């Protein structure tokens, strides 16, 4: 199976700015009971690093190692690290498929919004297990579109999500991957598996506008050529799907609750 890094999420400043809003308190509440001062943590697929730096504050004087395939994301993360003057984090570029760490180094391996982008999550989880100490904790959080609420719903929006799903799948990802945490962890021999779900909320006018821009950039800029070349849509259909996001955003009672599946397990 292919193990090269492919990622449909994109790295425009608009997308990176969205990710920088993420916090451990909001996106990582499920792992909080397992973090304490002195632990050694890996944040795999760390993106621009806002969650990573929150982890570092919590486990200080423990050390956090954070890795992302994208040099751009690591540059952003190091910038944020300087702004926040956080000393106990080391950001590096690298692949989840071949982690540059020795066996048994980490108390906790955390991966937020990474696995559902991967063509080969099995290989990444095998790597997570390898670098965990005996009894170490793995913690994932991934999208599961079947649980999303984009209100008010419409046939046009459903078609928009169908296109998003195709783009993800083309890059090896799966927008419903979150539901597969339990069997994946079982197959790797993890124990004490705890599954939970939560939502990322986009309800204020600013939040709705931000996520509308995010998906419109995804469709009409980052993956426009792919969508047209694959003949998934005509230009007019693509414009209608972007307009459906505008209509959703403009609706005064609208909101988007993005479902995330979470898993904690022990090696």
Q: How far is the CB of 181 from ligand SAM (least distance, A)?
A: 16
Q: Which residues contact 223 (CB under 8 A, 6 or more apart)?
A: 8, 167
Q: How far is the CB of 79 from ligand SAM (least distance, A)?
A: 15
Q: CB nearer to ligand SAM: give 12 or 154.
A: 12
Q: How far is the CB of 110 from ligand SAM (least distance, A)?
A: 8
CB burial string 17-30: b at 16+ within 10 A, e below: ebbbebebeebbeb
Q: CB nearer to ligand SAM: give 58 or 118.
A: 118
Cis ω for the linkage preceding 85 (within 30 of 0): no
**Rounded to the nearest 10 degrees, what angle do helices 50-59 and 71-84 cross at?**
50
The site for ligand SAM (CB under 6 A) is made up of 5, 7, 9, 19, 22, 45-47, 51, 68-70, 73, 95-97, 112-114, 117-118
Q: How far is the CB of 191 from ligand SAM (least distance, A)?
A: 25
Cα gap 204→125, rounded to integer Å: 36
Q: CB nearer to ligand SAM: give 3 or 194.
A: 3
The closest of 88, 66, 61, 69 to 77, measured between CA atoms, is 66
Q: CB nearer to ligand SAM: give 143 or 150.
A: 143
């Amino acid at each position: 199976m292919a193990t090269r890094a492919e990622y449909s999420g994109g790295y425009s400043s608009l997308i990176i700015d969205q990710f920088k809003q993420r916090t451990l308190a909001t996106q990582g509440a499920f792992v909080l009971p397992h973090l304490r001062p002195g632990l050694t943590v890996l944040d795999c697929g760390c993106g621009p690093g806002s969650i990573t730096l929150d982890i570092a504050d919590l486990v200080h004087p423990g050390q956090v190692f954070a890795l992302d395939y994208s040099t751009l994301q690591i540059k952003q993360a190091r910038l944020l690290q300087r702004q926040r003057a956080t000393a106990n984090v080391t950001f590096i570029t690298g692949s989840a498929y071949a982690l540059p760490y020795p066996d048994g180094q980490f108390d906790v391996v955390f991966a937020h919004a990474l696995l559902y982008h991967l063509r080969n999550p099995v290989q990444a989880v095998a790597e997570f297990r390898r670098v965990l100490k005996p009894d170490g904790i793995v913690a994932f959080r991934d999208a599961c579109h079947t649980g999303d609420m984009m209100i008010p719903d419409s046939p046009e929006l459903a078609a928009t999500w169908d296109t998003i799903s195709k783009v993800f799948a083309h890059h090896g990802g799966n927008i419903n991957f979150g539901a597969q945490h339990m069997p994946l962890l079982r197959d790797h021999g993890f124990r004490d598996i705890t599954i939970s779900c939560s939502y990322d909320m986009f309800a204020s006018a600013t939040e709705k506008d931000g996520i509308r821009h995010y998906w419109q950039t995804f469709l009409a800029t980052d993956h426009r050529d792919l969508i047209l070349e694959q003949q998934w849509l005509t230009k007019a259909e693509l414009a209608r799907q972007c307009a459906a996001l505008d209509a959703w955003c403009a609706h005064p009672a609208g909101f988007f609750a993005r479902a995330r599946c979470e898993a904690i397990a022990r090696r």
